[in-house]
Amino acid sequence: MHLYKNSESSVIYYVKSLGQLCAVLRNVAQVQPVGGGTGLVQYQITPVLTLPSHLVVLNGVPELKDISKTEHFLEFGGAVSLQAIVRLGRKNIPVALHEALSHAANPGIRTLATIGGNIAGTRPHASALAPLIALDAKMEVRTGHENFWISVAHYAHARSDTLRHRSHVITRIRLPTDYWDFSYYRRIGSRALFGERADFVFLAQQQKNALSEMRMVFFSDVVMRNREFDNLLLGRAIPLSAGDIAAIVYRSREFFAPESFKSAYIAHCFFHLLEDCLRRLR
């Protein structure tokens, strides 16, 4: 492990193993993990870069850059870059995730940004969150004192703020390799750094021309997913009739109240995208 101290009194730890990483997390209070560093500079607008007092750099830990695939699961190390995942192609990763990461930023930024850092940000700009939640992905988290698995959905939920603000590292992300007959991802809102943005994901499976599985996730300032609404559609014959679509969109307002969205514009986009996906089901 190497230690560097700059003129601004920021201490930077360069670790080369999970053991060294855990030692830093255990012994250095409020140390901030850094992968590609894009999260550090994203919101800085002054000419001089301001760094946290303590940083630990993750790129030297080989296990955090691993990618593996089995019959049932796909797994990424937390320091795998977004571009490395995109390069796997739509045939090797879920379409919704590939679509989300492909539009996350330009290739240069994606080469630096990591999947773990993207999740840990949990802002509306965190492109991986909505598809990973829809795919029921889980992740391994390490602190200085423990190692455990948690769902991405639980981590992103507001009740996990306590965990997100403790020093920890996302070491692995694991998602099922289930096939989806219909996958839809759309980022809506302004592309400006401080503008309104949201992610919409709709996944569906069918058996014998009937809907057998459906998942819908909307992520703006909060994660919106309602399993009761997802189950409401199961067993329906597809394609859906115009009357069925109108009834489902109308009923959806019982589960997703328009006033619960960040703005009227975002609410309008949500209901429009839901209707569009229902029409596309074949």
The arithmetic mean of pLDDT across residues 213-217, rounded, is 97
Residue at a domain's end among 57, 76, 101: 57
**% of the chain beyond a pLDDT of 70:** 90
- Mean pLDDT score of the chain: 89
Specify whether 72 is located in the same domain as 172.
yes
End-to-end CA distance of the chain: 55
Specify whether 90 is located in the same domain as 105.
yes
Specify whether 118 is located in the same domain as 215.
no
Cis status, amide bond into 239, omega within 30 of 0: yes
| CB-count burial class (<10 Å; 0-12, 13-18, 19+) for 276 | middle
How do residues 59-115 score in pLDDT, each as one tens digit? Answer: 999 999 999 999 999 999 999 999 999 999 999 999 999 999 998 888 888 999 999
Q: Is the pLDDT of residue 58 over 60?
A: yes
Q: Is the pLDDT of residue 217 over 90?
A: yes
Amino acid 124: pLDDT: 56
Amino acid 161: pLDDT: 65
DSSP for residue 17: S
- CA–CA dist 104, 102 (Å, integer): 6
Specify whether 48 is located in the same domain as 102.
no
Please report, for the domain that includes residue 192, its CATH number: 3.30.390.50
- CA–CA dist 68, 12 (Å, integer): 30
Amino acid 48: pLDDT: 74
The arithmetic mean of pLDDT across residues 225-249, rounded, is 95
Specify whether 154 is located in the same domain as 249.
no
Dump the DSSP string for 95-159: HHHHHHHHTSS-HHHHHH-BHHHHHHH-STT-TTHHHHHHTT-EEEEE-SS-EEEEEHHHHHSGG
Amino acid 40: pLDDT: 75
Amino acid 171: pLDDT: 97
Q: Is the pLDDT of residue 192 over 60?
A: no
Residue at a domain's end among 157, 176, 195: 176
Specify whether 193 is located in the same domain as 161.
no
Specify whether 206 is located in the same domain as 158.
no
The arithmetic mean of pLDDT across residues 258-270, rounded, is 92
Best CA proximity match to 244, nearest among 232, 261, 262, 258: 232
How do residues 129-176 score in pLDDT, each as one tens digit? Answer: 999 999 999 999 999 889 999 999 998 875 566 676 678 999 999 999
Number of domains in the chain: 3
Range of the domain at 242: 182-280
Specify whether 197 is located in the same domain as 225.
yes
Measured in degrees and rounded to the nearest 5, phi and psi for residue 217 equal: -130, 135
Amino acid 3: pLDDT: 62
Angle between helices 264-280 and 242-255 (to 10 degrees): 140
Residue at a domain's end among 11, 42, 57: 57
- CA–CA dist 203, 276 (Å, integer): 13
In this predicted structure, which of 27-31, 39-43, 223-227 has the lowest mean pLDDT? 39-43
Whether residue 184 contacts residue 275, with contact meaning beta carbons closer than 8 Å, is answered with no
Query: What are 245's two structure tokens?
Result: 């679509």
Amino acid 8: pLDDT: 62
Amino acid 39: pLDDT: 75
